[in-house]
């Protein structure tokens, strides 16, 4: 069971195309990086996520043109409570990168990425439905999986596994 230790030093990881591109575009937007178990994670500042994704999508050397997934993790009771996670794939270069945005517990809100990838639509609706994170600029932010009149956000950690009904 040999696991290499995680690398979190941004200087060492500048070789990765996504890190290089984002650091070159706006160093302030990158709050941290982590390379663990062969996967690159970049912590992006909340207000910069939409532009950062557009920059990564249009990068000429390694275009991360495919949005694989948007999801969320609830770290209740620690703050910042929510972490919205974006998984990007570069189809020409076969590279993956994970972008993370940390949000606080009261009124978690974020810019929607539907203007960058129309495919973000259902993923963001699901995160809104199950966690309560609002996406500004989403064309139709309604519940996706739960019934329309459901109260509460089931995947939050303070929602019981057995449910209320």
Partner 1 sequence: MILNMGPQHPSTHGVLRLLLEIDGETVVRMMPDIGFLHTGIEKTCEAKFYHQVVPLTDRIDYLCPMTNNLCYALAVEKLLGLEIPPRAQWLRVMMNELTRINSHLVWLGTHAMDIGAMTVFLYCFREREDILRLFEAISGQRMMTSYFRIGGVALEPPLDFFDRVRKFADRFPSKVDEYEGLLTGNPIWMMRTKGVATISAEDAIALGASGPTLRGSGVDIDLRRDMPYTGYENFKFNVPLGKEGDVFDRYLCRVRELRESIAIVQQALDGMPSGPVKADAPKVVLPDREKMKTEMEALIYHFKIVTEGFAVPEGEVYQAVESPRGEMGYYVVSDGSAKPYRVHMRAACLANMQTLPKMCEGRLLADVVAAIGSIDIVLGEIDR
Two structure tokens written together for 106: 């009261």
Q: Is 109 among the residues that bind partner 1 (CB under 8 A)?
A: no
Stretch that binds partner 1, among 13-21, 45-53, 103-111, 112-120 (CB under 8 A): 112-120
Two structure tokens written together for 135: 């996406």
Place of tokens 């209740």: 76
What part of residues 117-146 is at the interface with partner 1 (CB under 8 A)?
A: 117-123, 126, 130, 143-146
Sign of CA dihedral 113, 86, 97, 89: negative
What part of residues 15-44 is at the interface with partner 1 (CB under 8 A)?
A: 36-39, 41
> Does residue 30 come out as left (phi exceeding 0), alpha (psi in the -120 to 50 range) or beta?
beta
Two structure tokens written together for 80: 């910042």
- Give the residue among 24, 108, 18, 94 at the shortest CA–CA distance from 57: 18
> Which listed residue (24, 91, 136, 137) binds partner 1 by CB under 8 A?
91
Q: Is 66 among the residues that bind partner 1 (CB under 8 A)?
A: yes
Two structure tokens written together for 7: 């690398």
Q: Is 58 among the residues that bind partner 1 (CB under 8 A)?
A: no
CB nearer partner 1, residue 27 or residue 37? 37
Binding site for partner 1 (CB under 8 A): 1-3, 6, 36-39, 41, 65-69, 71, 73-74, 85, 87, 89, 91, 94, 96, 98, 117-123, 126, 130, 143-147, 154-155, 159, 161, 163
């Amino acid at each position: 069971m040999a696991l290499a230790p995680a690398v979190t030093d941004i200087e060492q990881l500048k070789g990765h195309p996504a890190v290089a591109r984002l650091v070159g575009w706006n160093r302030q937007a990158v709050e941290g990086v982590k390379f663990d178990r062969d996967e690159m994670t970049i912590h992006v500042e909340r207000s910069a996520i939409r532009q950062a994704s557009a920059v990564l999508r249009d990068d000429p050397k390694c275009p991360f043109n495919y949005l694989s997934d948007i999801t969320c993790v609830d770290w209740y009771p620690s703050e910042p409570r929510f972490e919205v996670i974006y998984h990007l794939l570069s189809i020409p270069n076969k590279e993956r990168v994970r972008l993370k945005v940390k949000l606080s517990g009261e009124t978690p809100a974020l810019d929607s990425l539907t203007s960058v990838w129309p495919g973000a639509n259902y993923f963001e609706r699901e995160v809104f439905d199950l966690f309560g994170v609002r996406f500004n600029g989403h064309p139709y932010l309604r519940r996706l999986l739960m019934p329309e009149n459901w109260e509460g956000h089931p995947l939050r950690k303070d929602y019981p596994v057995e449910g209320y009904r």
